[in-house]
Amino acid sequence: MSSETASSKRIPAYSEFFYGDIYNSPSKTASRDKPLSVHLRTFFQDEKMLQSLLREISVNQRILQMGVSFGPEIEEVAYKAGGMSGYDIIDVNELQLKMCRKKLGAVCPFIRFIRANAATFKDSAKYDVVIVWFLLKEMPIVTKTKTINNALNLVRPGGKVVFVDYHNPVKWHPLRYLVRMYNRLYHPFAEKLWDRQIDTFAKDKTLFSWRKSLFFGGMYQKVVATRKINPLNLNIVEAEPKVKEDFLQSFYARK
């Protein structure tokens, strides 16, 4: 079961300041949720990134989505996971959860909508997949670090965390400086994803295997962190033949 305090459910001040006019407005939320709006804001790369995300998901997996997203992403993940899966969606904004529930609750009744902060959310059971879809760009570095590490802590051994977000585009990208100016105006925390690789935020980086895919000349990225299945077990398995051999030698030596 999840556990959240009242303070952890409060909308952070930075989110209210930079995004409150959108996330607290039903009309603006509905407008940004339309397919054309999503296409334009991602330079028509959203479908390619979504298909790449779906390839990381299998049927009947237990999935956590950090943050409500615009467009068909949540719906497509739900269809790919199937009705027998457990699909939890957390968001600190009650209006976003309410509108997402209204949009998908009837067609995807197995989705569980939880009001919670991605940086502090806890659950007693681990997830097979944790999705962080264009959420990091909206977070200052301290919250970004907490959210990344919390996502990593919530995944089971063998499970994966999938981050999809902005990335530092190649130098010759024709839209590089236009996007940088746009982000400085509307997503002031996104540029940190240009400066640092996502895996550098992880406290226990070596517990995971990491791989990265780039889209649209490096403008966007998908980073997958797969938790290793206890590497210490490998040492135990490798030691067993020697232990057995030593035992036999001592056994026959006594004879």
Q: Which domains does the chain have, with CATH numbers?
A: 2-230 (3.40.50.150)
Task: Provide mean pLDDT across the span 216-222.
Answer: 98
Comparing CA positions, the residue from 126, 123, 149, 127 lying closest to residue 136 is 149
Comparing CA positions, the residue from 64, 53, 77, 228 lying closest to residue 154 is 64
Least confident of 84-93, 181-190, 194-203, 235-244: 235-244
* Per-residue pLDDT at 244 exceeds 50: no
* Per-residue pLDDT at 182 exceeds 80: yes
C-alpha distances in Å from residue 62, one per residue of 57, 78, 81, 214, 242: 10, 11, 8, 26, 39
* Per-residue pLDDT at 248 exceeds 90: no
pTM higher than the cut 0.85: yes
Average per-residue pLDDT for the chain: 90
Please, are residues 24 and 93 in contact by the beta-carbon 8 Å criterion?
A: yes
* Per-residue pLDDT at 14 exceeds 80: yes
Show Cβ contacts of residue 212 under 8 Å, excluding neighbours closer than 6 positions. Answer: 197, 221, 222, 223, 224
* Per-residue pLDDT at 199 exceeds 60: yes
